[in-house]
């Protein structure tokens, strides 16, 4: 092979010109081609940095106020209906965590939400799993591109095959409601001055406890027959906490933990208990609702429903202490979760209830329900009501997600 001749030494004129050039000025291509390549590489370093950053599977702990949104799940075919994921994906792109084309096709980042929340429903402990570039100050940068009523409160690395929906063992929801919902229709005050007695709270909790265990909830959702195996759901706990006063209205919070929930299931479970406590329906209707007979079950308003927490017990037992991954628990974030609820979720529920009186308006419809109606009458009523009901699930509608 021919030898490459050594470059000749620069002339005196060139050396003088280089000496006169201001310090810091770039070298010309005719004087030092190596330097030009180095500068071009430096210019591209910032742009290429993200490309070189490896993607890792993580989970994000999210909290949001759902008012004004058409639920959690993004729907690219209906862009006029804004969702929580629309804002989240935009923030992920703008912060540099994911490439822009991944925002257009969320499968490219292996995105999965743990639970689908309905129009207007809030969350204090939603979990999403996805692959991102682990950039510096990642949580701060994502939150800088999110509105204040949506926050990323925590991040953990997970296994490469982790799927936040499939790996979830259970979900806990909270339902905040004014206690006058439990005022008996015949002999209690039916307004905001009502205060819940110990006796009534005890009765509410005894009724809510009836839901514990595995039951056929076909009467608590739509489009599921009594013999559909997927209508059977397992409820681990359900209770109403101590009442508290906000803005001169007494409220209480019902907690329910279950493996998964169907469309409108939680709101109907609460709606039926309210109908019983108020004196519109007999207690025996709960037991009757498990059977094949169609039962008219009222659906409580969506306002007040909050995805409180999601549980990953099996995953934590297998991977939580393997030395590579952390258990999916959020003890260090508890204070941030509590602050977010106090600042964004509870005020929204309270103020909306005061302005729109959704619970008071709904209570006035209980008298038109026929809790002894026949199956034929129920089918006719369902056909009429489905036309006006465009909401989704009470969280994870895992049959259609």
Backbone angles phi, psi at 83, to 5 degrees: -125, 165
Q: Which helix (H) or strand (E) holds 55?
A: strand 55-64
69 belongs to an annotated ligand binding site: no
Tokens, residue 366: 């209980």
Decide the pairing of beta strands 305-311 and 122-133: parallel
The three-point CA angle 349-352-356 to 5° equals 140
Cα of first residue to Cα of last residue in the chain, in angstroms, is 66
Sequence-distant (≥ 6) Cβ neighbours of residue 331 within 8 angstroms: none
**Residue 296 appears among annotated catalytic residues:** no
Sequence-distant (≥ 6) Cβ neighbours of residue 42 within 8 angstroms: none
Closest CA to 257 of 359, 328, 172, 131: 172
Tokens, residue 92: 């992920």
Long-range contacts of 99-107 (CB under 8 A, 24+ apart): 99/50, 104/76, 106/74, 106/130
Catalytic residue among 86, 87, 118, 397: 118
Annotated binding-site residues read 173
Give me the active site residues, please: 118
Annotated binding-site residues for substrate read 173
């Amino acid at each position: 092979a021919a030898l490459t001749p050594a470059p000749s030494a620069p002339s005196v004129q060139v050396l003088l010109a280089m000496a006169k050039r201001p310090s810091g000025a770039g070298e010309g291509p005719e004087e030092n081609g190596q330097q030009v390549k180095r500068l071009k590489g430096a210019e591209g370093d910032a742009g290429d940095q993200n490309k070189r950053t490896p993607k890792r599977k993580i989970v994000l702990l999210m909290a949001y106020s759902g008012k004004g949104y058409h639920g959690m799940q993004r729907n690219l075919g209906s862009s006029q209906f804004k969702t929580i994921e629309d804002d989240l994906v935009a923030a992920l792109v703008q912060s540099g965590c994911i490439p822009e084309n991944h925002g257009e096709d969320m499968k490219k980042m292996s995105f999965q939400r743990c639970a689908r929340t309905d129009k207007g429903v809030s969350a204090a402990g939603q979990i999403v799993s996805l692959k991102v570039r682990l950039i510096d100050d990642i949580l701060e940068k994502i939150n800088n591109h999110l509105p204040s009523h949506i926050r990323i409160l925590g991040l953990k690395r997970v296994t490469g095959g982790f799927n936040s929906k499939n790996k979830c063992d259970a979900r806990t929801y909270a339902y905040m409601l004014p206690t006058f919902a439990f005022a008996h229709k015949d002999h209690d005050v039916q307004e905001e001055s009502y205060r819940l007695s110990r006796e009534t709270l005890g009765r509410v909790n005894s009724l809510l406890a009836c839901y514990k265990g595995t039951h056929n909830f076909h009467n608590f959702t739509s489009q599921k027959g009594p013999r559909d195996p997927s209508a059977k759901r397992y409820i681990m706990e359900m209770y109403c906490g101590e009442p508290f006063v906000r803005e001169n209205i007494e409220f209480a919070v019902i907690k329910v933990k279950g493996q998964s929930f169907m469309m409108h299931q939680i709101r109907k479970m609460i709606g039926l208990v309210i109908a019983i406590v108020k004196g519109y329906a007999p207690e025996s209707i709960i037991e009757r609702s498990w059977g094949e007979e169609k039962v008219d079950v009222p659906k409580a308003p969506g306002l007040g429903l909050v995805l409180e927490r999601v549980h990953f017990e099996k995953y934590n037992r297998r991977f939580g202490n393997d030395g590579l991954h952390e258990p999916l628990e959020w003890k260090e974030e508890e204070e941030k979760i509590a602050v977010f609820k106090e600042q964004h979720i509870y005020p929204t529920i309270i103020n909306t209830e005061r302005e729109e009186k959704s619970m008071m308006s709904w209570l006035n419809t209980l008298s038109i329900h026929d809790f002894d109606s026949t199956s034929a009458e129920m089918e006719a009523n369902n056909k009429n009501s489905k036309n006006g009901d465009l909401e989704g699930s009470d969280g994870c509608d895992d049959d259609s997600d």
